Structure 1
């Protein structure tokens, strides 16, 4: 009887340990179609669906920590969260801590956009001095020399959707957006009102990275992400939200 009880207790303890959640960090600057936040919690979106599927396939619950963008890396370094997705190594040149990166999962262009298609090609370096719609805390390497020289000025909004709303309202002539958000935003507009991509500023390969900790199933996470990418699951999730992305 004692052996049976001991075996049951061991099974129970192992089950509890296996149920430790996989903690994902979600910057509060994300907007649809990446993530929709409601009452401070993600409820849908491309990255939300990917993270939920990842945790399910790894065999643990998903737990989401919504944080200001400036606190994201600090949370990773202090072990408050385990996984950050939609990130590029070039965004974190001074990254401290022990992390393992996934393969690139998405390719995202940063696009200069306006309300109307121009008659001639737009080159950011040739624009007259003006404000450009940007997201607070985001870096724009292609435009940074122009910001530093005060030839262009940032006008920051809290998230990418707010940047596009302000462009649509005529607050400025140009803004920067990732292609996903531009495609999502345009879905709700009549064709003659849709915002136009006028130049690709840069293209980034982005993926996820995982805190390299014995308590985190790092290799299972990375293998699962690889399988999700190779099987087409991640691309299917993208198409669910934005169909076939527009190209410039």
Structure 2
């Protein structure tokens, strides 16, 4: 009995000493180079490396929760997730709960992709009525007026990769896609079959949100993300997977 009680006591002490994991949300719609999902967990990619490095520097084990994008906000509100990365404030304007935002960490550029090369940049506002490829539960603020008036209709897929596969298969003429994911997808296609960027839809500064909770080291997380950004670590992670420097917001020519 003493041996059993001693073992239980040691297990109890070990549990108390082990830091609680830092729980990250992972959208099941992500694709490379943002994240590779295998067996319902991320294994590589920009966001995987970023979150894993963050947890390591904070001194917590990383725990990844793969969820449908529509369920992530509710999971955070219920306290099941501590940190959500790769998010813009415009995407969560009705966010409920007490959260802190990190500094902007990267820029996402959504482009209009097509199977054919346009003779000039496509003017999205003048496209004839048609369906275009989109990702389920993704918000495209720049296109909302065109969806609302029926000029464009969403053809949703569960992931960005499925959107591109449908575009290649001819399901629609155009698709809205993350530029990095498009570039990665094109690497697996023969040069004469690669998808073309025919317009820039929008650009968003993205960061992380952290749930304000006494058990979550919020300020340490925010300071670490700032340090990762300022030191160039995040830029190095992006360059590792894309071969490019981190994007910056495009400033339109005033002339």
TM-score (norm 1): 0.91
Over 3 Å counting, the alpha-carbon distance change for 1:246 and 1:176 in structure 2 is farther
* 1:143 counterpart SS class: helix
Q: Distance in 2 between matches of 1:123 and 1:188?
A: 28
| Residues 106, 246 of structure 2: 8 Å contact kept | no
* 1:220 counterpart SS class: helix
> Cα offset for 1:85?
0.1
Give 1:57-76 correspondences, 5 Å limit.
Answer: 57-76=57-76
Match of residue 134 from structure 1: 134
Match of residue 178 from structure 1: 178
The superposition leaves residues 89-133 of structure 1 with CA deviations (integer Å, 9 ceiling, x where unpaired) of 111111111100000001111111111220122111101111100
Q: Distance in 2 between matches of 1:232 and 1:14?
A: 36
Match of residue 145 from structure 1: 145
Q: Distance in 1 between matches of 2:108 and 2:70?
A: 21
| Residues 183, 246 of structure 1: 8 Å contact kept | no
* 1:131 counterpart SS class: strand
Match of residue 204 from structure 1: 204
The superposition leaves residues 184-228 of structure 1 with CA deviations (integer Å, 9 ceiling, x where unpaired) of 111222222211111111110000010011100111111111111
Over 3 Å counting, the alpha-carbon distance change for 1:107 and 1:66 in structure 2 is same
Where does structure 1 lack aligned partners over 5 or more consecutive residues? 1-8
Q: Distance in 2 between matches of 1:151 and 1:226?
A: 42
| Correspondence 1:44 to 2:36 | no
| Correspondence 1:84 to 2:73 | no
Match of residue 22 from structure 1: 22
Match of residue 93 from structure 2: 93
| Correspondence 1:162 to 2:162 | yes
Where does structure 2 lack aligned partners over 5 or more consecutive residues? 1-8, 251-255
* 1:221 counterpart SS class: helix
Give 1:237-248 correspondences, 5 Å limit.
Answer: 237-244=237-244
Question: Greater shift after overlay, 193-202 or 50-59?
Answer: 193-202
* 2:142 counterpart SS class: coil
Give 1:184-195 correspondences, 5 Å limit.
Answer: 184-195=184-195
Give 1:197-236 correspondences, 5 Å limit.
Answer: 197-236=197-236
Alignment RMSD: 2.0
The superposition leaves residues 5-29 of structure 1 with CA deviations (integer Å, 9 ceiling, x where unpaired) of xxxx9xx859835521000011111
Q: Distance in 2 between matches of 1:191 and 1:214?
A: 53
Over 3 Å counting, the alpha-carbon distance change for 1:13 and 1:101 in structure 2 is farther
The superposition leaves residues 127-181 of structure 1 with CA deviations (integer Å, 9 ceiling, x where unpaired) of 1111100001101111111111111111111100110111112111100001111
